[in-house]
Amino acid sequence: MAQCARDRTMSDPQWYSTGRDHVWLPYTQMKTARPPLPVASAEGVKLRLADGRELVDGISSWWATVHGYRHPHIEEAIRRQLETLPHVMLGGLAHEQAYTLARRLAGMLPGDLDHVFFSDSGSVAVEVAMKMAAQFWLNQGHRRVKFLCFRGGYHGDTFATMSVCDPDEGMHSLFRGALLEQVVVDLPRDAEGEAALGALIEQHRGELAGIVVEPLVQGAGGMVFHDPFTLQALRRLADEHELLLIFDEIFVGLGRLGDAMFACQIAGVQPDIVTLSKALTGGNLPLAATIASGRIYDAFLSDDPMHALMHGPTYMGNALGCAAANASLDLFESEPRLEQAQAIGRGLEQALEVLRGLPGVRDVRVRGAIGVIQLDRTAPADRLSAACIDRGVWLRPFRDILYTTPPLVTGEEDLARITSAMVEAVTEWSRETHV
Ligand SMILES: *Cc1c(COP(=O)(O)O)cnc(C)c1O
């Protein structure tokens, strides 16, 4: 072990050895975690490590690099923008890329989801959605500032978004007293669930601003799927009880599900507010958007300056980010990304099926270009991850989940590499732990 660590240090680049003590990593126990892998470059679906090894990125850098790394069309758009206008504040000034992107997103989203507020991360996009919903009611003289949200949900790491995450995953008890109190329930999955939820909403009459949900797939909370019925039920309940319906499409939006660009289109449900981020720039620059319907937007139009939306991140609508996002949307138009996502889904279904029924494997499920293996206990994340790295694949298991969300441009051969790594790693683990 010590030998191993020393060998690593010898071959590590200098920036890595000298910077290591200074970078605080996400969700990482800095005392015990395996050190991260230094990456020198990336191209297509592959990461090249500093020691020369190549890994297929099976999770698209947290679900973002849908077109792979360094797509020439996006790279060219960013370079062109860099040479004309890398950034300018959106307060009082306007630029082409943000205005073009807003118009395009409004055109792509169903119905009158026409009004785009830009920010720079997914968490902030959800914060803005929550603020929009609360202020929508405040502007009309109602103090309705709480949200209905769901077990298994994940909406970000900031304080307001933690409050609408799953109570355990969102660390509600750890941060008790610091978090807003929301109404957290199970997703309604049938008529009975819908009726029960209706009764619960009635009990909170007058205090709820809206419902926040990840449509069709709850991602970071455990990769749990639900049917369009659930979203249709939420729409019915929202209408009946006058709540705003917020779809957090930060994970599933922009082609990941294959059947359409957005989950709301697949479910045939029109939300009042949608959030996007992750894949928005094709995984090249941080950018997020909160998109509201005409009814929401209109409630902010007033002669009272305090009725304006009270938000404005410094880097909102960053021109480089918007240029990358416009180029990413070009690629969705000019290349068959949705078909590719569907093909990946079929490949995942075929290849992962052998794990079903294996001792220790609780479930195998696929939706769009998302493949999930759920184990019967918390996965030994470092071990599974190392087993995949040995097979040339980058994956990052969490809790009881080993999953893949490959770039949508992943070809058959690279997909086979990902799925064989998953199958072999889990089979090995199963043999050792379930004798
Ligand atoms: C990742 C994610 C977020 C948070 O986005 P960040 O950019 O990490 O702040 C919010 N909602 C969903 C559904 C996500 O998957």
Give me the count of residues in the chain.
Answer: 435
CB 212 within 8 A of CB 246: yes
Q: List, by residue range, all CATH 3.90.1150.10 domains of the chain.
A: 14-70+336-434
pLDDT in tens, 210-254: 999 999 999 999 999 999 999 999 999 999 999 999 999 999 999
Residue 343 confidence (pLDDT) above 50: yes
Catalytic choice (57, 146, 278, 403): 278
Q: Can you tell me the distance from the alpha carbon of 97 to that of 327, in angstroms, rounded to the nearest whole number?
A: 10
User: Measuring CA to CA, which residue among 154, 155, 159 is closest to residue 178?
Assistant: 159
- CATH class of the structural domain 85-334: alpha beta
Whether the CB of 269 sits within 6 Å of ligand 1: no
Residue 5 confidence (pLDDT) above 50: no
Catalytic choice (16, 69, 131, 154): 154
How does strand 146-150 pair with strand 208-213? parallel
Look at residue 172 in the predicted model and tell me its pLDDT.
Answer: 82
Q: What percent of the chain has pLDDT over 90?
A: 93
Catalytic residue flag (residue 330): no
Whether the CB of 127 sits within 6 Å of ligand 1: no
Residue 9 confidence (pLDDT) above 80: no
pLDDT in tens, 161-176: 999 999 988 788 889 8
Look at residue 189 in the predicted model and tell me its pLDDT.
Answer: 98
Look at residue 173 in the predicted model and tell me its pLDDT.
Answer: 84
pLDDT in tens, 254-300: 999 999 999 999 999 999 999 999 999 999 999 999 999 999 999 99
Catalytic residue flag (residue 259): no
Look at residue 362 in the predicted model and tell me its pLDDT.
Answer: 98
CATH 3.40.50.970 fits 14-70+336-434, yes or no: no
Catalytic residue flag (residue 278): yes
How sure is the predictor about 8, in pLDDT bands with cuts at 50, 70 and 90? low
Whether the CB of 154 sits within 6 Å of ligand 1: yes
Residue 320 confidence (pLDDT) above 80: yes
Catalytic residue flag (residue 27): yes
Q: Can you tell me the distance from the alpha carbon of 411 to that of 406, in angstroms, rounded to the nearest whole number?
A: 10
Look at residue 176 in the predicted model and tell me its pLDDT.
Answer: 87
Q: Can you tell me the distance from the alpha carbon of 435 to that of 418, in angstroms, rounded to the nearest whole number?
A: 26
CB 429 within 8 A of CB 384: yes
How sure is the predictor about 4, in pLDDT bands with cuts at 50, 70 and 90? very low
Look at residue 1 in the predicted model and tell me its pLDDT.
Answer: 38
Look at residue 171 in the predicted model and tell me its pLDDT.
Answer: 80
pLDDT in tens, 84-114: 999 999 999 999 999 999 999 999 999 999 9
3-state secondary structure 197-223: HHHHHHHCCCCEEEEEECCCEECCCCC
Q: Give the position of tokens 């995953």.
A: 169
Residue 2 confidence (pLDDT) above 60: no
CA 51 – ligand 1 centroid, Å: 31
User: What average pLDDT does the segment 402-430 reach?
Assistant: 98
Whether the CB of 121 sits within 6 Å of ligand 1: yes
For the CA of 126, the closest atom of ligand 1 is: 10
Which amino acid does the sequence have at 208?
A: L
CA 346 – ligand 1 centroid, Å: 26
